[in-house]
Structure formats: C-alpha cells, structure tokens
Structure 1
Amino acid sequence: MTVRSPLRAVLPALFAATVLVAGGSAAAAPAASPAIAPPDIPVADVQAQLGELQRIADENGGNRAHGQPGHKATVDYLQSELDALGFETTVQEFSADGDTGWNLIADWPAGNANEVLMLGGHVDSVPNGPGINDNGTGTAGLLEVARAVAEQDLQPNKQLRFAWWGAEELGLLGSGHYVQNLPAAELDKLSGYLNFDMTGSPNAGYFVYSPEGQPEGSAELTDTLNAYFDTTGVETELIDLGGRSDHAAFADAGVPTGGTFTGAEGQMTEEQAQKWDGTAGEAFDGCYHQSCDTVDNVNETALDRNTDAIAYALWTLATS
C-alpha cells in the first residue's frame, strides 16, 4: 500500500485523505447470493505462494520493488502460473521514475466480454524489504482464487479479469497507467473493480472499503464483501482509503469500486481490539514498509478469511 506523497501534485484526483468511517457489516440492501457455491481457498496454498514471493525477494536483493530484478521475477512467475491455468495474459509495460514497470493482466476466456468484473492488487514491494503482507498477501490470494476459477472451469455470466499492478508504492502509477490508457469503450465494459491490498496484517483489522462518495454501484460490492464476513461472524468496519491504493484510478474514472484491508501503520483502538481479538495501541502492521515484512509477518486467520472473501465476491458478482 502506498503512502501519500508529492506525486499528489501530478495525480490530485487520486490522493484523497485517509479517513476511518464508523460502521459495521450492516448493508443498505440484501446482497445477492452466488448462483454457484464459492470455494473455500486453502490458506496453506496461499501461504505457499507467499513462500515463493519471499524466495524471489531473497534471490533478488531482498525486495520486489519497481525497477529492481525481484519485481520482474515476480511478474514472470505469476504469468507462468496463470498461463498454465489457461488464462489469457498480457504484460503491460510502462515507465516510471526512470525505470520500466509492468502490469500483469489475466483474462479468463469465458463470460460476457461486454460486462467485465475486475479484481486486482499491487505486486511491487518497497525497496526496504520483500513486501509479504504489503502486498504479497493480496497478490497470492488473487492467484489462488484465479486457480480455483480454472480448476472449476467456471463459466461466469461476466468476464473475469485479474490484475497485478506495478509501481503502486511510487504513487499508484501502474494502475493509473492502465486506466488512463484504456479506451473509453473498454472502460465502459467494467462493471466493477475489487482491490485487495494488505489482507494478512499481523494485528489484523477487518476493513471493507466504504461506498460513500464512490461511483454508483460501489455499494453492491461493499454489501457483497460484508455478506461474506457476516457468514463468519466477523464484524467489519467501513474505511475510506482515498488515494492509498489501486482502486483510486478506477473510482476516478467512474468505475464502481470495493475491497478489503487489514490495516497498515495505524494503531488499533481498544474497541477494535475487543472486536477482533487484537492488541490495542499497536499498529495493525508493525513491519509496514520495513525489512521485517516477511513470511513471518502474516496473520494466517486474516489471510484465510480475506482470501475466501475474494472468492465469495467473485462467485457472487459473476454468477448471480
């Protein structure tokens, strides 16, 4: 997840303030139910992918940052996995901060090509470390949900498009490049974009993106994610992440957006600690943007729940 930076002068619409919004899982209207039962994604498989991301970082200078060999090695690894699963993959190249960056796009060859549900998260780390919670967790969770789509040979009503963004940590540059270069006719086909950035914070919170002030249709995405957490008995809070992650470019372009987040450098309150069995007064992720953001910096329960939330949302929104 990015921090606000001087790049807001270049991309002002993408850098709103981060504000916590009071609220829980209550939905404005009943969420739709999936026509096909969503799978339970084995958390051990997601953790195995985190191990691969750690290995890639270890073999490439300790990070997977933009402009560094670990970033390209990560993209190559993901593309090889997705190609083997039968996805149609595209690597979009762009330039940022004097270096080449890459977005990886993977389309599932089924569903209505005129109505596209998109799910994504950033794949780069900061230079300081391997970036396993930020954002190996979202990266790995999306890959394993994509694997479940392929293993079930899912035939959704909507076309499914997965994305792994580059240069998020420099100011959401990869996703911004994608949206800015997407033809208007293709942009109009996007029925929604779901973002998953930091889904396994050690002192985990359970935040769902607030639809307030977002494009029309965002409430359906929020309600769907909250409907999953309702099945687990976990109470969520709505959060306005503003311009801190890759949903921002889509929202600015009028695409409905949603997502989940388990917290970064902010501190957990007493009320949240009681609700989520966490530790009050400590950061949600004490290793945020540090070298200690390794495979040991992940809450397995939060990772499991949030990855299953990705699958639930996909199966609900694409098959109902």
Structure 2
Amino acid sequence: MLKLIRKFVVAYALCLLGVSACRSPAIYPPDKTAAVNGTRLAYTESGRGAPVVFVHGALSDTRAWAGQKDAIASQFRFIAYSMRYHSPNDWQDDGSMYNIPTHASDLAAFVKSLNTGPVHLVGHSFGGHVAAQVAMEHPELVKSLVLEEASIFTVLDSPGGKAVVEAFFRSVPSIKAELNTDGSAKATEMMIDSVLEDPQAWEKAPPLWSTMWRDNAKTLGPFLSAAPPPIDCSRVGTIKAPTLIIEGANSARFFHEIDSKLLQCIAGSERVSVPKADHLVQVRDAEAVNEAILGFLTRHP
C-alpha cells in the first residue's frame, strides 16, 4: 500500500508539472487497492447504484476507461481496476502467470471482494475475453456483460475463420523478434500499429493512450507468450447473462468476425456498431459507447 501511495504522490507531482503521464488524474492513478489471490489490484470508483466493473485490454490499465467514468458514474457505480502486472500494480513474479485463467480468477475474486453481489461487466479486447471467461465460470457474479471487441479468436474454428486469425497474427513473429532484440519500447509500437492495421497508428494515438501503453510495455512479452484457452462456440454459448457486443465499424476484420460469431453463439446477445471507430472504440467515440452501455444497463438492471 505504501508503494502505491508513493506512486500516487509522484504521479500527482508530474500532473502539476504538466507531464502527459497523468492526463486523466480523475481516473489515474487509482486510489484504492483490493487484496486478490496473493497480490493487490489497484482500482478507482465513482458514483452510486448498481456496480459496473470495467476490464481493460492488453497494454492498458484504468486509463482505458477515462472517457466512460463520468457518464457511467452519473447513473451507476463505476469501477475500473488494473489487472495483475498492469500499472500501477507491483509485479509479484516474472510474469509467468500472465494468462486468461489467472486474470479471470483475479477478476472473480475482485468482484467478490466488493461484497455487492453480481455486477455488470464491461470488457475491451483482451479484457473482454477475461470478462467472458468469468461469465462462463461464475455466472452468479455477472448481472450483464458488455463485450467491446473481445479477442476470443478461438471461436473462429472454421477454415475461413482460421485464415482470418492467421492473417491478423502474421506480424507477431517480427514483434517478438524486436522484443527479444531491443526490448519492449519499439515492439509495443509495432503491436499497436498491427492491431489497428495502420503503420502510423502509434503516432496518431491520443497522448493518454500512448503514455498508458508505454507504462505497460513490460507486459507485452508475457501477453504474447500466453496461450488462450480453447474456447469454442458451445462453450461461449453457456453465457446466460444479457450480453451486448460493441464494435468499431472501421476495426480489423479479425474483430468483426469474432463479434459475428459471438452474436451467433450467445443466445439473445445484441450488437452495436460505432461508425468511424476502430478497435479503440471507447475513445474514438466515447459518447456513442457510453450511450450504448447506459441504454443496455438500463434495460437490464
């Protein structure tokens, strides 16, 4: 806890000096921690009412939801946490436990630690996979589920689907080679450019996000080494919580294919496509995303 307080003080001082590392002091650094599975997870919360827990994606932390905090907190209890290994949490090991099962177990324990009963879960990309895993394994903890381009690519098990997955991950060997040669800085930039399918994606990214990615660059190696659980359509189909799928209209085909498959697999699920948005949909059009989430949560209190 003392280390977290020190980090907060340093970050706040940087804010006062105008340093971009703290462009969103209202959400970062998180001001609370929860003891979970032998580690501590930092989180921030705001508002009152039914709890809505936000799960960030790879290379991210609570800052990923800066655009959602005020809107959601106006009607619900907004809660965003940083996953194990992600800033500003301390590392308890070398990152070897970085995988979906670990993060899902942590999320389930985190939800239980809130002592609120079932919560609404909102997950982006890798965090969407983590949130979906909890919905499958611990349905009693999930009131509803919002998947924002969840990266559950193992559902694409047809020949055509596998070809889409293979094409999307074609750049991973070169990213890993860069990671092994010069470390995580350049490799992280390459990863962002690849995921957004734009060779200038890093350069054009919002300052808050590029700073966040740099702060979490150390997680890239463990993330790329983690094999996903072999989840197929029948397994995802066990999700009974009301489910909303949000995607950016300009995102990679990889995410659209996954979303279409999830829509087929999860009974009663809904989909919202945000025009002119890519994989960073919650920042490209925060208003549209907030409207979709709030409308969905209102219908499924």
Shorter-chain TM-score above 0.5? no
Structure 1 or 2: more helix by fraction = 2
TM-score, normalised via structure 1 length: 0.39
TM-score, normalised via structure 2 length: 0.40
Higher relative contact order structure (alpha carbons within 8 Å, sequence separation ≥ 6): 1
